[in-house]
Amino acid sequence: MSTILKVDDLRVSFATEDGVVQAVSGVSFELKAGEVLAIVGESGSGKSVTAQTITGLTRAPNARITGSVAYRDRELNGLDDDQLRDVRGEQIAMVFQDPMTSLNPVYRVGDQISEMIRAHRDVSKHEAADRAIELLRSVGIPNPERRVRHYPHEFSGGMRQRVMIAMALALEPDVLIADEPTTALDVTVQAQILRLIDQLNRDRDLAVILITHDLGVVAEIADRVLVMYGGQIVENATLDEIFYDPQHPYTWGLLGSLMRLDQSRTTRLAQIPGQPPSLLNPPPGCRFAPRCPHVFDKCHELPALEARAGTSHLDRCWLDPEEKKSLRAQVIP
Amino acid sequence: MSKGDPLLEVTDLVKHFPIKTGVLIDHEVARVRAVDGVSLTLREGETLGLVGESGCGKSTLCRAILQLTQPTSGSVRFLGEELVGRSRRDLRPLRRQMQMVFQDPFASLNPRKRVGQIVGDPLELHGLARGTELKRRVQELLERVGLGPEHYNRYPHEFSGGQRQRIGIARALALHPKLIVADEPVSALDVSVQAQIINLLKELQDEFGLSYLFVAHDLGVVRHVSDRVAVMYLGKVVENSATEDLYRKPIHPYTNALLSAVPIPDPKRNAARERLVLQGDVPSPIDPPPGCSFHTRCPWATEVCTTDEPALLEHASAHAAACHHPRNVEEAASHGSR
């Protein structure tokens, strides 16, 4: 599989009243064609800022962005809006958490999709309108001929999210970035949307970057997983590796604190003490050290993201791989 | 009252919100049937989980039980006393025994009050403590929920979401109530913080002899904390049973679908599961479908489901469901364990 998107040492910081917030501190990864890459992390991990920076959405007077974001070998970081217009929508499309704020409430849904198509392609109004109907059909909206004339508020949350996905796919991009697409949806609707994204990935060879805090969602459709903490990637592995052979104590903590339906009810959950780090003054050295039960003297030095067990499974932890196995068993049942 | 006695008995509770229109005189054109006839029992020392998706009425049910909103009809008996129809003055002494923890840790604390005041107000309002004694008790509560006595003088905005939720819990505990209604207390928190708060709630339950009505949409969380679970759909309880029975042998098709929809954070097991993905969306509570309100999305619906509303009946030991075609009944009946 060829690499379609390559992010190298991405750093994003924002100057605020309270100081400089180091939102993303050296993120590097690759996305292959047709791959579903999940970026997992909690609030403040930097996952959303990373995704938004890829499509140039974080550019602002108080933002400082360094590093490289290369789509098919073309550098995106530093491009202006005109130059990015070719990329956005056509190559890389984005879907956000709250469809109500992404859709214009005063325009019919069909018109919004048509307008977008006509801004990029030389087609007639009629052709664009037909395409809009087909797009709604392809994302599973029943009666698309009728629904295309409805306003966003006439759709339920799940249906609106489908409309967003339809809009994202209108120009047939290679990459879909979905930022917490199902977090605001009920679980039964979430299942429908994940199934849709999975189907689109398989049928169209669409690469997906899925940002989520929900490991269940990850298990459902991801091929590869990045775990982010404090603005950095702490683990980068395949789906099976993350769930069955996790190498970072933060990942263990996340897995251990899950309340799984298929396991017996334990009396006490494994909890990660403390809170996520301040991004104003990130701790020197390993950022998870203040909360890590296995911290030792080497941890005051920031570990590099490397394959320590000799495979393509990367982690950012000084612990000896052999030692990790027994430590891990204490956290994850 | 001893452990196991009914603490809270809700019978046919209804809360409808009228939709009115008119120029000079309002007349009702429709109603939102938020809670449409709910009956349930919570026993002393027990945690009853209340689960359902958006619009099922679980939050309105909580508020109707606590008389924060006046029920349209029905009965709520708490500690043997009828709450519906009581005046505010008569409710006051009972209110000491029932407290609430809210979902949004940012909206549920007054941003202009210091933490000490937020947690101490209930004690002061009920005349239980004053001055240095009040401060001492508040600091004790703060410590019990994992905060420091030095947090007494800080404002809510100086805390994280998880810490604010702890403040909300301290406030609910202040009067040593018998019942705490927790409306999605961990939904807005990060996963690693959720575990901390859940552990805290369980410890407090043992220590203070609390009973919880625990509302959540996350089935994993509900299973972990509850002794019994009630599933709601469009304003009604569709299934009610001991926790393990619900998760192992769900009777109602909606419960089956809910459980099936939750992804298991284990790729191999997740892929091996048989999934039931529901079509369509939840109907509006203004115009619920006739007969069984779930029939529009039910894969096993028949003619009778479109006309007759099924009653909530016990199909297995202590396991009730409202369905004309209950699933897993033989297995559920034979398992009938508490």
DSSP secondary structure of A182-226: TTTS-HHHHHHHHHHHHHHHHHH--EEEEEES-HHHHHHH-SEEE
- Nearest-Cα distance to chain B for A288, in Å, is 13
Across the interface, which of A217, A220, A254 has its CB nearest the CB of B192? Answer: A254
pLDDT of residue B237: 96
| CA-based nearest residue to A316, from A26, A49, A65 | A26
Across the interface, which of B217, B275, B281 has its CB nearest the CB of A187? Answer: B217
pTM (two decimals): 0.85
Interface test with A, best of B233, B266, B296, B298 (most A CBs within 10 A): B266
CA distance B244 to B223: 8
Mark yes or no for CB contact B281/A258 under 8 Å: no
Interface test with B, best of A194, A268, A271, A280 (most B CBs within 10 A): A271
Per-window interface: A 21-60 vs B, CB < 8 A:
42-43
CA distance A201 to A175: 10
Query: Which residues of A are less than 8 Å from B201 in CB distance?
Result: none
CA A238 distance to own-chain centroid: 15
- Nearest-Cα distance to chain A for B217, in Å, is 8
Beta bridge partners of A40: A212, A227
Q: Does B4 touch chain A (CB under 8 A)?
A: no
pLDDT of residue A236: 96
DSSP secondary structure of B122-190: HHHHTTS--HHHHHHHHHHHHHHTT--GGGGG--GGGS-HHHHHHHHHHHHHTT--SEEEEESTTTTS-
CA-to-CA dists, residue A190 to A217, B262, B279, angstroms: 9, 9, 12
CA-to-CA dists, residue A308 to A184, A198, A248, A304, B119, angstroms: 37, 31, 11, 10, 49
pLDDT of residue B3: 65
Looking at A7-21, A225-239, A250-264, which range is the least confident one? A250-264
The 8-class DSSP code of residue B277 comes to P
Query: Which residues of A are less than 8 Å from B261 in CB distance?
Result: 187-188, 190-191
Q: Does B189 touch chain A (CB under 8 A)?
A: no
pLDDT of residue A267: 65
Show the DSSP H helices in chain B as ranges.
58-65, 88-95, 115-125, 131-144, 161-173, 191-208, 219-225, 243-248, 253-261, 267-272, 303-307, 329-335
Q: Tens digits of per-residue pLDDT, A69-94?
A: 999 999 999 888 888 888 888 899 99
CA distance A240 to A248: 15
By the 8 A CB rule, do B115 and B152 touch? Answer: yes
Across the interface, which of A158, A187, A275 has its CB nearest the CB of B262? Answer: A187
Q: Does A272 touch chain B (CB under 8 A)?
A: yes
Which tokens in the block code for residue A133? 């109907």
Average pLDDT, chain B: 90
Q: Does A290 touch chain B (CB under 8 A)?
A: no
Mark yes or no for CB contact A258/B53 under 8 Å: no
Across the interface, which of B194, B262, B268 has its CB nearest the CB of A261? Answer: B262
- Nearest-Cα distance to chain B for A58, in Å, is 23
Q: Does B192 touch chain A (CB under 8 A)?
A: yes
Q: What proportion of chain B, given as a percentage, has pLDDT over 90?
A: 63
By the 8 A CB rule, do B217 and A186 touch? Answer: yes
Q: Is the pLDDT of residue A206 over 60?
A: yes
pLDDT of residue A12: 96
Which tokens in the block code for residue A271? 């909890």
Mark yes or no for CB contact A191/B275 under 8 Å: yes
Cβ-Cβ contacts under 8 Å between A and B: the total is: 123
Average pLDDT, chain A: 90
Across the interface, which of A254, A259, A272 has its CB nearest the CB of B221? Answer: A259
Mark yes or no for CB contact B267/A239 under 8 Å: yes
Indicate the SS3 state at residue B18. Answer: strand
ipTM: 0.79
pLDDT of residue A308: 80
Mark yes or no for CB contact B191/A219 under 8 Å: no
Interface test with A, best of B147, B189, B191 (most A CBs within 10 A): B191
Mark yes or no for CB contact A260/B266 under 8 Å: yes
By the 8 A CB rule, do A264 and A3 touch? Answer: no
Q: Does A215 touch chain B (CB under 8 A)?
A: yes
> B9 exposed, middle or buried (CB, 10 Å; 0-12, 13-18, 19+)?
middle
The segments of chain B whose pLDDT lies below 50 read: 332, 336-338
pLDDT of residue B204: 93
Per-window interface: B 67-106 vs A, CB < 8 A:
none
Which tokens in the block code for residue A33? 């064609």
> B132 exposed, middle or buried (CB, 10 Å; 0-12, 13-18, 19+)?
exposed
Q: Tens digits of per-residue pLDDT, A102-140?
A: 889 999 999 999 998 998 889 999 999 999 999 999 998
Query: Which residues of B are less than 8 Å from A276 in CB distance?
Result: 190
Element containing residue A330 per DSSP (H, E): helix A321-331
CA distance A158 to A160: 5
Indicate the SS3 state at residue A314. Answer: strand
pLDDT band of residue A310 (cuts 50, 70, 90) is: low
pLDDT of residue B338: 41
Q: Is the pLDDT of residue A278 over 90?
A: no
Exposure letters A103-121 (e unless 16+ CB within 10 A, then b): beeeebbbbbbbebbbeee
Q: Does B65 touch chain A (CB under 8 A)?
A: no
Interface test with B, best of A188, A217, A262 (most B CBs within 10 A): A188
Mark yes or no for CB contact A273/B162 under 8 Å: no
Across the interface, which of A217, A266, A273 has its CB nearest the CB of B263? Answer: A217
CA-to-CA dists, residue B54 to A77, A156, B182, B234, B264, angstroms: 40, 11, 16, 9, 21
Q: Does B223 touch chain A (CB under 8 A)?
A: yes
pLDDT of residue A87: 87
Indicate the SS3 state at residue A293. Answer: coil
Residue whose token pair is 């699933």? B327
